[in-house]
């Protein structure tokens, strides 16, 4: 009897008027996986509906994204050649630099974000240069080549860079490098709280980036640590990150909320490959009402405090919102 709105009165448009959380097509960044060649469009077995594409196919894809009202994309490159330092990502003719130039030329209205990391470009699959003695990533050596990769992306015309390797001090390093090269206005979205997660499994199929030895636990976070998760994001804010991120999303919505309450920066979540695959295969097997569960999941991200959702579902969501 003390309910302000009886649920039975909440019919018709009143339901929309009092809704606390809304999902919009403007909230999304759509991931694209790009490889060399022409006319290449290969569906990923572990992620139905997600493809590796050559640049010409990506340009066609952008047409479709624009029709759906999706203007923000994040690019991942699959180079022809991988080596110990990820050379393809450090040269202006590499797969990502070439893709940025082609996309911005054909579709200047697209907002192009790049994932800045080395795991897709190194033969060992780790997110930086390996220290042979430690048998894991050498943080400071990786900072130096990360700055180089950022400048390559900037020169190619990227709109925002998103460092994902969780190297210590990466945001300050990139901010100084970009400012020093005249890119003061280029924003940085940090993968600021990134957990060492089993949910990245399918991504490593698409990006062909599974580590050949060891794991990423020395530079990604322990899922059990809440305070550490918060401090990682707040440290990146202090270093100059423009946007903070929690990744994965679904199993970490408590962390999204806690960081949101402590920062004035916009927050992103990365709704990762394993989360996508779980819903996709449950839907394909008739176990859930797929469209409904997808929208329920997107609302949960917004409700937890996300301003931006990076998701393989973005096109499906855009279509559902148009209905």
Applying CB under 6 A, which residues contact ligand PBG? 115, 117, 119, 127, 164-165, 200, 203-204, 272-273
Residue 142 contact among ligand PBG, Zn ion, none, beta carbon within 5 to 8 Å by kind: none
110 near Zn ion, judged by CB under 5 A: no
Least CB distance to Zn ion at residue 26 (A): 28
Four-point Cα dihedral 262, 250, 162, 96, nearest 10: -170
Residue 258 contact among Zn ion, ligand PBG, none, beta carbon within 5 to 8 Å by kind: none
208: left (phi over 0), alpha (psi -120 to 50) or beta: left
Least CB distance to ligand PBG at residue 13 (A): 37
Separation CA 240–CA 232 (nearest Å) = 13
Strands 111-116, 72-78: parallel, antiparallel or unpaired by DSSP? parallel
Residue 200 contact among ligand PBG, Zn ion, none, beta carbon within 5 to 8 Å by kind: ligand PBG
| Cα distances (angstroms) measured from residue 217 to each of 30, 53, 166, 211, 303 | 27, 30, 11, 11, 29
Least CB distance to ligand PBG at residue 35 (A): 16
Instruction: Pick between residue 71 and residue 270 the one whose CB is nearest to Zn ion.
Output: 270
Residue 125 contact among Zn ion, ligand PBG, none, beta carbon within 5 to 8 Å by kind: none
Least CB distance to ligand PBG at residue 127 (A): 5
SS3 139: helix
**Candidate list 34, 50, 73, 117; residue touching Zn ion; CB under 5 A:** 117
CA atoms within 13 A on the CB side of 255: 30
Q: For the CA atoms of the chain, what is the radius of gyration? A: 20
Least CB distance to ligand PBG at residue 272 (A): 4
167 near Zn ion, judged by CB under 5 A: no
Own/partner pairs, 89-94, CB within 8 angstroms, 24+ separation: 89/118, 89/120, 89/121, 89/149, 89/152, 90/145, 90/148, 90/149, 90/152, 91/152, 92/152, 92/155, 92/156, 94/121, 94/152
Residue 203 contact among ligand PBG, Zn ion, none, beta carbon within 5 to 8 Å by kind: ligand PBG
Query: For residue 46, which of 176, 222, 202 has the smallest C-alpha distance?
Result: 202
Least CB distance to ligand PBG at residue 4 (A): 40
Active-site residue 133, yes or no?
Answer: no
- Crossing angle of helices 170-180 and 139-156, in 10° steps, is 40
Residue 76 DSSP symbol:
E
Q: Active site residue: 194, 260, 280, 302, which one?
A: 194
Q: Active site residue: 82, 133, 148, 247, which one?
A: 247
119 near Zn ion, judged by CB under 5 A: yes
Least CB distance to ligand PBG at residue 165 (A): 6
Strands 47-53, 72-78: parallel, antiparallel or unpaired by DSSP? unpaired
Residue 232 contact among ligand PBG, Zn ion, none, beta carbon within 5 to 8 Å by kind: none
Tokens (6 digits) for 86: 């990820």
Active-site residue 247, yes or no?
Answer: yes
Instruction: Pick between residue 56 and residue 169 the one whose CB is nearest to ligand PBG.
Output: 169
207 near Zn ion, judged by CB under 5 A: no
**Candidate list 55, 65, 68, 127; residue touching Zn ion; CB under 5 A:** 127
Binding site for Zn ion (CB under 5 A): 117, 119, 127, 165
Q: Catalytic site residues?
A: 194, 247
């Amino acid at each position: 009897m003390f309910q302000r709105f009886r649920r039975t009165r909440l019919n018709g448009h009143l339901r929309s008027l009092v809704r606390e959380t809304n999902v919009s097509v403007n909230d999304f960044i759509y991931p694209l996986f790009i490889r060399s060649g022409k006319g290449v469009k290969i569906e990923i077995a572990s992620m139905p509906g997600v493809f590796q594409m050559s640049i010409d196919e990506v340009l066609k894809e952008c047409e479709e994204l624009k029709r759906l009202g999706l203007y923000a994309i994040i690019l991942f490159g699959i180079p022809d050649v991988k080596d110990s330092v990820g050379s393809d990502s450090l040269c202006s003719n590499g797969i990502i630099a070439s893709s940025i130039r082609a996309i911005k030329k054909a579709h200047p209205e697209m907002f192009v974000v790049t994932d800045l990391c080395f795991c897709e470009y190194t033969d060992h699959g780790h997110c930086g240069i390996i220290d042979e003695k430690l048998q894991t990533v050498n943080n400071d050596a990786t900072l130096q080549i990360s700055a180089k990769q950022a400048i390559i992306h900037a020169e190619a015309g990227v709109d925002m860079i998103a460092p994902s390797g969780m190297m210590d001090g990466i945001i300050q390093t990139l901010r100084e490098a970009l400012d020093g090269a005249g890119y003061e206005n280029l924003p940085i979205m940090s993968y600021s709280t990134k957990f060492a997660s089993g949910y990245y499994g399918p991504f490593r199929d698409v990006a062909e980036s599974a580590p050949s030895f060891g794991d990423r636990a020395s530079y990604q976070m322990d899922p059990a640590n809440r305070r550490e998760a918060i401090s990682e994001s707040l440290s990146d804010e202090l270093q100059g990150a423009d946007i903070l991120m929690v990744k994965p999303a679904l199993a970490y919505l408590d962390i999204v909320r806690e960081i949101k309450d402590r920062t004035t920066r916009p927050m992103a979540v990365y709704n990762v490959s394993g989360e996508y695959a779980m819903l996709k295969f449950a839907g394909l097997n008739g176990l859930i009402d797929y469209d409904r569960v997808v929208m329920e999941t997107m609302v949960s991200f917004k409700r937890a405090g996300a301003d931006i959702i990076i998701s393989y579902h973005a096109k499906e969501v855009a279509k559902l919102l148009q209905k």
